[in-house]
Amino acid sequence: MARRSSPKKPTKASRIRSLVLRLTAVAFMLAISYGGYLAWAATSEFEGRRWDIPAQVYAAPLELYTGRALSADDLVAELKRLGYREDPRLIGPGTYRVGLGRLEVATRGFSFAGDVEPEQLVAITFVGGRIAALRDSSGGRAAIVRLNPLLIGSLFPSHGEDRLIVAPDEIPPLLTDTLKAVEDRRFDSHFGIDPIAVMRALFVNVSSGEIREGASTLTQQLVRSYFLTNTRSGFAAWWRKIREAFMAVALELRYSKSEILHAYVNEVYLGQDGARAIHGFGLASQFYFGKPLGELELHELAMLVAEVRGPTYYDPRRHADRALERRNFVLQRMSDEGLANNDEVQKAAEQQLGLVGNERRGRAHSAFLGLVRRQLSSDYARDDLERTGLVVMSTLDPAVQAAAERGLDQGIAGLGKRAEKFEGAIVVTSPHTGEVKALVGGRDASYEGFNRALDARRPIGSLIKPAVYLAALESGRYSLASVIDDAPIVVELDKKRTWTPSNFDNMAHGLVPMVRALAESYNMATVRLGLDVGLEPIAGTLQRLGLAEKPTLYPSMLLGALALTPIEVAQIYNTLANGGFRVPLRAVRSVVGEDGELLQRYEIEIAQAADAGAVYALNQALVQVMERGTGRTVRQALPEDIVVAGKTGTSDDLRDSWFAGFTNTHLIVAWVGADDNSPTGLTGSSGAGKIWAGVTAALEPNSYSAPAPDGVDETWIDYLTGAPMAARCPDAIAVPVPETDYYPHVFGCNGETGIGARIRSWLDSNRR
């Protein structure tokens, strides 16, 4: 306006000058606001990332106590999983020393929401695969000692960034010094960018026409990792460099050097594990070496610093030679800068990379982590799980998990030529507490896709039969000694359709005692029994045992037309293994917030789901399944003196092979089938049963047993016919029966009754 009012006409030159001036002003304003935006973006990212931590999930800590079945080899395997190293000097927490029949361990100790396990020196003596004595450093007896829990993974979000935050005081000074020496020598003095390094790099880059040499300061690297772009050529790359430089300066103005260094240590990208990106030195230390950052040795620390330059190119698992060369370069730099003395560096350079095995990488537990996520998602929002740094204590037993994975692998491999297309799943629980000890979702335990243990819904076949027999026992009208008819049966479904179930061997077995009908899994007898008991009560029994939804009441339900997932089957059988007490299966014990306060404890909660006497009797029949019935061959794979209870399940056309069974300490459910649901040619015992036996044998099985509840008596019958029989006869078995039922004492084997027997039974009948 002022100019317009000017009487003097502007000259051409002054017009251009004013235009330039104005454009400059506008550009300046734009630059300032863009700069402001960049600074804001950088700082808000810096603030945000500090707390953007996925929930970290730990396994159950290993408990050491006198009497525990654990060999020295088992313990060493566990110590290795935990990244303990063998050291004859027992130099500090996280080391152990091997002696004859004896181990000395300097434990790490841990603290979890007020539950403190101190670090200590313990000496463990082993005799016959058991801990015979446990002594502390003063030589006194220690009752019970825990090892620190194994970090098994985290509930990282779908963008895949995983990290394990380390506090400033947990960062070894040698790490930050080495980072500076290798990546950014003038870190302590520059202001976010390093002009000297830039000039040098510029020269190299201009002469080569592209960005070859990074002159990035640690601050610039931090910014780059926030915004994850990595264009390497052309204008975009230069523009990105300028933006990064600007943001780096903005961060330096706002935060101290130590804050930036701390953020860097927790942020930088150091590896890839499938869909999971390993960020920060804390997680990288676990990922590559299976131990906390503070315990790294010189060569290990150097390797982590080497990875900063390019975790893909220098991937120590795929390009060990490159990683080794780069690591030794880092070691050399450490020596040059006086961070470590020459001798140490020489020794370190001779070391191998020393990576932990695949199983320690965390990914192996993806199926179990899926269950953890599922359990927690009823109480926590997804964002809370993925971003707020929760610490989760789970129920996983790493040794059981390893045994289950091995069991599935070897079991399926042993199934012959067609095994390649077979898939499988395993659930292992601790029946009394309902804790899930292991979960395998498929043959490739590291695969994060279809989790068959949780999501493969398949007809359970004869696995349903125990519910039918339990309902019969609970009705009070039947006992295991009751004789039922395994004769052909035609079931009218409606006016037009009928159903004619048949036995697996296509034979009818006539009158058999209930215990045999279940042990041999006779279909016709079961259908007859089930129809007499009624579908409704059977469905009720199933629901009490833990089935979430009421099944549809078709007669075919009696033979297992019901489709369930392995974890659902485990819930039902867990109630049986637990003597009729239902306890919700749990994968999580407790959750602690980022600041260490306890948020939630998932406690043992039990409900009586079935009559104790009826469940006791049913379980005795499940023992007979293994002794004489369809589980016989499965049982033979176990030591002679072990008592187990179990049931086979096979779906139509042999598409699904199931086995569920238990000892006193473990319930194991195994499933084998094909993902495309094609027939496998396997029965419950020839497929899943083999896997079940393999896993059970590996778990130091503890015989199944239970005290007989009040009101339960026992009687001897002929297993084949159910007729009363003397105990000494072939095929005589003892079955539990209600005290109130009358069973005659018999002294002969073939129904023959001597005079003594008749007197005896006459006396008996009068006594009652």
Partner 1 sequence: MKTRSAIARGALLAYLVLGAACASLSSPAGSASRPATTPPPAPSTSGDTRPVPGGDPSATVPPGSPQPPRSEPPGRDVPSARPQSDASGASAALLEQSRAQRAAGSLPAARASLERALRLDPNNAVLWLELGELELQTGNSAQAATMARKAQTLAGRDRRLTDRAEQLLRAAE
Reported as half-sphere exposure (CB side, CA atoms, 13 A), residue 598 has a value of: 11
Instruction: Please pick, from the candidates 543, 702, 721, 753, the single residue that binds partner 1 as defined by CB under 8 A.
Output: 702
- 183, 244, 520, 568: the active-site residue: 183
Binding mask 558-587 for partner 1 (x = CB under 8 A): ---------------------x-x------
Find the shortest distance in angstroms from Cβ 703 to partner 1: 4
Quick one: 143 exposed, middle or buried, by C-beta within 10 A (0-12, 13-18, 19+)? Answer: exposed
Residue 21 lies near partner 1 (rule: CB under 8 A): no
Q: Are 740 and 753 in contact (CB under 8 A)?
A: no
Task: Please identify, using beta-carbon distances, which residue of 603 and 676 lies nearer to partner 1.
Answer: 603
Task: Please identify, using beta-carbon distances, which residue of 464 and 638 lies nearer to partner 1.
Answer: 638
Task: Please identify, using beta-carbon distances, which residue of 266 and 665 lies nearer to partner 1.
Answer: 665
Q: Please choose, out of 64-72, 447-455, 541-549, 561-569, the segment that lies near partner 1 by the rule CB under 8 A.
A: 64-72
Task: Please identify, using beta-carbon distances, which residue of 331 and 621 lies nearer to partner 1.
Answer: 621
Residue corresponding to tokens 């006791």: 616
Residue 146, both tokens: 């825990």
Question: Which 430-489 residues touch partner 1, going by CB under 8 A?
Answer: 430-433, 435
Q: How far apart are CA 462 and CA 456, in angstroms?
A: 17
Q: How far apart are CA 478 and CA 685, in angstroms?
A: 28
Q: Are 450 and 375 in contact (CB under 8 A)?
A: no
Q: In what order do the strands lie in the sheet with 161-163?
A: 161-163, 276-279, 269-273
Residue 708 lies near partner 1 (rule: CB under 8 A): yes
Task: Please identify, using beta-carbon distances, which residue of 620 and 680 lies nearer to partner 1.
Answer: 620
Taken in order 84, 89, 90, 92, the sign of the CA dihedral is negative
* Alpha carbon of residue 462 to chain centroid: 28
Across 385-465, the runs of DSSP E, i.e. the strands, are 391-394, 422-430, 435-440, 458-459
Q: How far apart are CA 646 and CA 685, in angstroms?
A: 10
Task: Please identify, using beta-carbon distances, which residue of 272 and 702 lies nearer to partner 1.
Answer: 702
Task: Please identify, using beta-carbon distances, which residue of 536 and 731 lies nearer to partner 1.
Answer: 731
Instruction: Please pick, from the candidates 507, 601, 675, 762, the single residue that binds partner 1 as defined by CB under 8 A.
Output: 601
Find the shortest distance in angstroms from Cβ 64 to partner 1: 9
Find the shortest distance in angstroms from Cβ 607 to partner 1: 6
Question: Which 610-649 residues touch partner 1, going by CB under 8 A?
Answer: 612, 620, 623, 627, 639-643
Residue 605 lies near partner 1 (rule: CB under 8 A): yes
DSSP 3-state of 116? strand
Find the shortest distance in angstroms from Cβ 280 to partner 1: 31
Residue corresponding to tokens 């050491």: 64
Q: Strand pairing partners for 581?
A: 608
Characterize 240-278 residue by residue with b for buried, 16 or more Cβ atoms within 10 angstroms of its Cβ, and e for exposed: bbebbbbbbbbbbeebeeeebbbbbbbbbbbbebeebbb
* Alpha carbon of residue 692 to chain centroid: 18
Find the shortest distance in angstroms from Cβ 537 to partner 1: 22
Q: Please choose, out of 192-200, 202-210, 400-408, 720-728, the segment that lies near partner 1 by the rule CB under 8 A.
A: 720-728
* Alpha carbon of residue 402 to chain centroid: 10
Question: Which 66-85 residues touch partner 1, going by CB under 8 A?
Answer: 66-69
Residue 714 lies near partner 1 (rule: CB under 8 A): yes
Residue 705 lies near partner 1 (rule: CB under 8 A): yes
Residue 329 lies near partner 1 (rule: CB under 8 A): no
Number of residues that bind partner 1 (CB under 8 A): 60
Q: How far apart are CA 519 and CA 729, in angstroms?
A: 20
Characterize 68-86 residue by residue with b for buried, 16 or more Cβ atoms within 10 angstroms of its Cβ, and e for exposed: bebebebbbebbbbbbbbe
Task: Please identify, using beta-carbon distances, which residue of 31 and 607 lies nearer to partner 1.
Answer: 607
Binding mask 374-413 for partner 1 (x = CB under 8 A): ----------------------------------------
Q: Please choose, out of 202-210, 238-246, 450-458, 595-603, the segment that lies near partner 1 by the rule CB under 8 A.
A: 595-603
Task: Please identify, using beta-carbon distances, which residue of 501 and 724 lies nearer to partner 1.
Answer: 724
| Rounded alpha-carbon distances, angstroms, from residue 258 to 44, 187, 219, 351, 723 | 18, 11, 11, 31, 84
Across 476-579, the runs of DSSP E, i.e. the strands, are 483-486, 491-492, 498-499, 510-513, 563-564
Task: Please identify, using beta-carbon distances, which residue of 25 and 144 lies nearer to partner 1.
Answer: 144
For residue 168, give every residue at least 6 positions away whose Cβ sits within 8 Å of its Cβ, in sequence order, or none: 258, 262
Residue corresponding to tokens 């030794």: 328
Q: Strand pairing partners for 713?
A: 737
Instruction: Please pick, from the candidates 709, 738, 744, 748, the single residue that binds partner 1 as defined by CB under 8 A.
Output: 709
Nearest to 305 by CA among 277, 278, 335, 285: 285
Residue 130 lies near partner 1 (rule: CB under 8 A): yes
Task: Please identify, using beta-carbon distances, which residue of 45 and 700 lies nearer to partner 1.
Answer: 700
* Alpha carbon of residue 617 to chain centroid: 34
Alpha-helical segments (H) within 699-737:
none
Find the shortest distance in angstroms from Cβ 522 to partner 1: 21
- Provide φ and ψ at 564, rounded to 5°: -135, 160
Task: Please identify, using beta-carbon distances, which residue of 244 and 435 lies nearer to partner 1.
Answer: 435
Q: Are 396 and 429 in contact (CB under 8 A)?
A: no
Residue 733 lies near partner 1 (rule: CB under 8 A): yes
Residue 716 lies near partner 1 (rule: CB under 8 A): yes
- 216, 285, 430, 462: the active-site residue: 462
Residue 731 lies near partner 1 (rule: CB under 8 A): yes
Find the shortest distance in angstroms from Cβ 308 to partner 1: 42
Residue 607 lies near partner 1 (rule: CB under 8 A): yes
Q: Note if 462 is an active site residue.
A: yes
Find the shortest distance in angstroms from Cβ 139 to partner 1: 17
Residue 753 lies near partner 1 (rule: CB under 8 A): no
For residue 549, give every residue at least 6 positions away whose Cβ sits within 8 Å of its Cβ, in sequence order, or none: none
Question: Which 219-278 residues touch partner 1, going by CB under 8 A?
Answer: none
Residue 732 lies near partner 1 (rule: CB under 8 A): yes
Q: Note if 71 is an active site residue.
A: no
Q: How far apart are CA 197 and CA 358, in angstroms?
A: 39
Residue 728 lies near partner 1 (rule: CB under 8 A): yes
- Provide φ and ψ at 588, rounded to 5°: -125, 135
Instruction: Please pick, from the candidates 606, 674, 698, 723, the single residue that binds partner 1 as defined by CB under 8 A.
Output: 606
Find the shortest distance in angstroms from Cβ 372 to partner 1: 18
Side chain identity at residue 722, one-letter code: G
Residue 608 lies near partner 1 (rule: CB under 8 A): yes
Instruction: Please pick, from the candidates 1, 6, 114, 383, the single residue that binds partner 1 as defined by CB under 8 A.
Output: 114
Q: How far apart are CA 702 and CA 632, in angstroms?
A: 18
- Provide φ and ψ at 183, rounded to 5°: -105, -30
Question: Which 644-673 residues touch partner 1, going by CB under 8 A?
Answer: 664-665
Q: Which residues are catalytic?
A: 183, 462
- Positions touching partner 1 (CB under 8 A) are 63, 65-69, 114-115, 130, 143-144, 430-433, 435, 579, 581, 598, 601, 603-608, 612, 620, 623, 627, 639-643, 664-665, 701-710, 714, 716, 726-734, 745, 747
